[in-house]
Chains A and B, each alone.
Chain A
Amino acid sequence: MTSATLGARRGRVQGSPLARRRRRVFGPFLAPALILYTVLFMVPTVYSFYASFTSWDGFSDPRWKGTFNYQHLTRDPAFKDAFFNTLKLLFGCGIFLFVLSFAFMLLLREMKGRRFIQGFIFLPHIVSGVALAAFWGFLLSHDGMANKALNSVGVGPVDWLKPEWQFKAILVAIVWINVGYYVTILMAGVDRIPPYYYEEAKLAGTNAWQRFRHITLPMSWDVIGTAAVLWTIGTVKIFEFILAFSGSQGNLPTTNQWTSALYVYGETIGGTSPIYDFGRACAGAVVTLFAVVLVVVVLRRATSRDRLEL
C-alpha cells in the first residue's frame, strides 16, 4: 500500500464520528492490559539485561560487576551444556522434526482418515509434559515396556537410560510430542495452495516429484519459515519434560541434560541446595535470547528469499 492511500484512508477514518468515538475509549480500553504487560513483562525483560551485569541474589540490591557474569559463562561447564543442548534441540531435533512433519503432512493429504489422524497425533501437544515424561520414563526404564517388548522376541534388556543415551531419549520424545502440532501448521499452509496450480501442472505432463519440487515446496516456504520461528521460540521453553524425566529425589537433572530454562532454574532457586546467583542466571538468559533473535532473523531472511524462486 502506498503512503498516499494510507494517508487518505487514515484521513477518512479520523473524520468519521465512529472513529472519533472509538478513539475516546482507546486509552481506557488499552490501559489495563498495557500497564500489566509493561510493568510485569517488559520492565522485567529490560531489568534482566541490567541485572546480567551485576551480582544479585534476588533479594538485596544488585551490585554492578560489569561483564564478569558473561566472562564466567564462557568458562561455566553447566552453561555450556545448557546452551549446546538447547542448540541440539533447536537444530538436531528441529531438522528431524520438520522433515518428519513435512513427510507426514504430504502423506496425510492423500489418506482417508486425514482429519482424524491429524487430530489424534496433535494430542501430546496439549497435555502436561510432566505426565508425558512419566510415561516416557516408564517406557524406557530397565524393566519398562520397551525392554518387555524386546524380551518377548528374545532380545536382552537394553540400557536405554545410560548417561550417554539419556539426552537422546529426550530428543526423541520432544519430536514425538511436537510432530502433530507442526503437521497441522504445515497442512494449513499447503491447503492454501490453489488446486488449479496442480491441475495445470498435471496437464503439462509433470510427475508427482516435479509438482512437489516446483509447486508444493516453493509455495510452502512461507509457512515453513513461520513454523521454524515458532519452533525456535518453543525450544527455549522446553523445561518440565526434562526436569520430570531426568530429575530425581528433589535433585535437578545432571548438567549434561540442562537446557537454557533449566540453567536459570538451577542457578537460582532449583535443587536441594539453591545457589541464588540471579545475576549469572540473567546473563545466561540474555545470551539465550540473543541466540534466539539471531536464529529468527536468519530464518526470516532465508525463507523470504527462497520464496521468490517460484
Chain B
Amino acid sequence: MSTATSGTRAATQDPPATPPPARRVPWARLPGTTLIWLFVAFCAFAFLFMLLSSLKSSFNVLNHPFRLPTELKFSNWSKAWHDGGFGPAFVNSVLVVAIAATGTVLIASPAAYVLGRNQGRVSGGVSLYFVLGLGIPMQIIVLPLYSIMAKLHLIDNLAGLIVLYIVVNLPFTVYLLMSFFATLPGELEEAAALDGVGPAMTFWRIMLPLAKGGLVTALILVAISCWNETFLALMFLQTNDNFTLPLALVNFLTQQQFTGEDFGVMFAGVSIAVLPMLALYAWLGRRITEGLTLGAGK
C-alpha cells in the first residue's frame, strides 16, 4: 500500500470516526488525557532542555536546570565544534550519510522495480530473500564482516563504513520501494514499450520520476538510520579523526569523567547530533512517520 493512499484514506475516514462529543462524559477520560499531556510535556521538556542547555554555562545547567539561559553562551558550540571533536565528526557524518543514503537508493531502486512489477515465482522468492534480512539482527553479521573488512584493510575507514551502511539498509529499502513500485499504474510503461522505448530507459525516464515520492522517503529514512547508527560505527571505526557524530558523543561522554564535566559543551554536542534530525522531522514529518510505519500496514 502506498503512503499516498493510506494518507488520503485516513483523511477521508476522520470525520465519521469522531463521535458526537455530547454523549461522552468528559471527565471519565480525564486521567488518561492528563497522562498524555504530561507525556507530551516531558518530551517537549527533554528536547527544549537539550537545546537550551547548550547555550548555558556548565554551572547554570547543573544548578538551575529549569531556568532559561540568562546569557547565550555560543562559546559552548565553538568549543564542542573545535575541541570536543564534534566539528570533524559532523563533517564525517554528513559525508557518510549523504553517500550511503544515495548509494542505497541507487542500488535498491532498480532491484525494487523489477521485483515490484514482476509477478513470477523467481521474483517472489527473491523478494522474500530480501525481506528475510529485515529480521536478522546486526550482531549476527558483524563479526564475519569485521574479518572481511580487516582483510580488505577497510577497518577504520569511512569508505568501508559507507559500504556496510548501504548493505545493511538494502533489505528495508528494497522492501519499501518494492511496495511503492507495485502500486504505480502500468499504462505508461505499456505505452513506452509500444513506442519502442527500451526497458532500461523506461525505468530511468518514466518509472523513476513517477516513484519520486517513494525514493525521497527511502532516502530520508536511510539517512536518519545512518545518522544515528552507532553499533557498526563503533565496531569499524577506531581513530577520532574518523568518528561519526554518535561516536564523538560517546567519546565525549566517557571522557568527561576525566576532564571535568562541562555540561554546556556536552549539550552543545548533543544538539549538533539532534538538531539536524529535528529540522528534518519538522520539514518532512508526515513522510517520515508514514514511511517508518509502512511495514506494519501489511
Interface residues, chain A, with chain B CB atoms under 8 Å away: 9-10, 13-14, 17-19, 21-26, 28-30, 32-34, 36-37, 40-45, 47-48, 51, 58-59, 103-104, 107-111, 117-135, 137-138, 143-145, 148-149, 176, 179-181, 184-185, 188-189, 191-192, 195, 198-199, 223, 226-227, 230, 233, 236-237, 239-240, 243-244, 247-251, 260-261, 263-265, 268-270, 278, 281-282, 284-286, 288-289, 292-293, 296
CA–CA, A9 to B119, complex, Å?
Answer: 9
**Interface SS of chain B:** helix
Contact of A128 among B122, B139, B227, B293 (CB under 8 A): B227
Minimal beta-carbon separation of B250 from chain A (angstroms): 5
Q: Is the CB of B281 within 8 A of A285?
A: no
- B153 touches A (CB below 8 Å): no
Q: Contacting chain A: which of B76-84, B94-102, B160-168, B209-217?
A: B160-168
Contact flags B205-242 to A (C-beta < 8 A → 1, else 0): 00000000000000000001001101100110000000
- Report 15 cross-chain contacts, Cβ distance below 8 Å, ordered by A residue: A14-B120, A17-B193, A18-B186, A33-B130, A42-B129, A45-B140, A107-B36, A129-B230, A184-B293, A223-B296, A248-B257, A260-B137, A265-B235, A268-B146, A288-B140
In the complex, which range does the number of interface residues on chain B fall in? 35 or more
- B185 touches A (CB below 8 Å): no
Minimal beta-carbon separation of A67 from chain B (angstroms): 18
CB neighbours (8 Å) of A132 from chain B are: 46
Q: Is the CB of A43 within 8 A of B250?
A: no
Contact flags B277-298 to A (C-beta < 8 A → 1, else 0): 1100100011011001101111
CA–CA, A281 to B231, complex, Å?
Answer: 15
Given that A188-B296, A261-B137 are known contacts, is A120 also in contact with B44, CB under 8 Å in the complex? Answer: yes
Minimal beta-carbon separation of B67 from chain A (angstroms): 11
CB neighbours (8 Å) of B33 from chain A are: 107, 111
Contact flags B248-275 to A (C-beta < 8 A → 1, else 0): 0110011101100001001100100110
CA–CA, A10 to B117, complex, Å?
Answer: 12
Q: Is the CB of B270 within 8 A of A134?
A: yes
Contact of A29 among B137, B186, B203, B255 (CB under 8 A): B203
CB neighbours (8 Å) of A185 from chain B are: 293, 296
CB neighbours (8 Å) of B138 from chain A are: 237, 261
Contact of B143 among A14, A107, A281 (CB under 8 A): A281
CB neighbours (8 Å) of A24 from chain B are: 199
- B43 touches A (CB below 8 Å): yes
Contact of B274 among A30, A131, A282 (CB under 8 A): A131
- B17 touches A (CB below 8 Å): yes
Given that A121-B40, A134-B249, A244-B253 are known contacts, is A127 also in contact with B140, CB under 8 Å in the complex? Answer: no
- B246 touches A (CB below 8 Å): yes
CA–CA, A278 to B168, complex, Å?
Answer: 20
- B159 touches A (CB below 8 Å): no
Contact flags B169-213 to A (C-beta < 8 A → 1, else 0): 011001000000000001001100100001110010000000000
Q: Is the CB of A134 within 8 A of B111?
A: no
CB neighbours (8 Å) of B137 from chain A are: 233, 236-237, 260-261, 285, 288-289, 292
CA–CA, A51 to B137, complex, Å?
Answer: 16
**Interface SS of chain A:** helix
- B128 touches A (CB below 8 Å): no
Q: Is the CB of B266 within 8 A of A134?
A: yes
Extra pairs beyond A30-B114, A285-B140 (8, CB < 8 Å)? A25-B114, A26-B114, A108-B36, A130-B230, A188-B293, A240-B231, A285-B143, A289-B140
Contact of B136 among A45, A107, A127 (CB under 8 A): A45
- B110 touches A (CB below 8 Å): yes
Q: Is the CB of A292 within 8 A of B39?
A: no
- B134 touches A (CB below 8 Å): yes
CB neighbours (8 Å) of A236 from chain B are: 137, 139
Q: Is the CB of B130 within 8 A of A37?
A: yes
Given that A58-B143, A278-B143 are known contacts, is A32 also in contact with B107, CB under 8 Å in the complex? Answer: yes
Q: Is the CB of B234 within 8 A of A25?
A: no
CA–CA, A130 to B247, complex, Å?
Answer: 9
Q: Is the CB of B274 within 8 A of A127?
A: yes
Given that A124-B46, A230-B295 are known contacts, is A37 also in contact with B39, CB under 8 Å in the complex? Answer: no
Interface residues of B in 1-59 (CB under 8 A from A): 6, 9-10, 13, 16-19, 24, 29, 32-33, 36, 39-40, 42-44, 46-47, 49-50
- B62 touches A (CB below 8 Å): yes
Q: Is the CB of A30 within 8 A of B66?
A: no
Residue ID in chain A nearest B138 by CB atoms:
A237
Interface centre among B42, B44, B119 (most CB of A within 10 A): B119
CB neighbours (8 Å) of A33 from chain B are: 107-108, 110-111, 130, 170, 174
CB neighbours (8 Å) of A138 from chain B are: 263
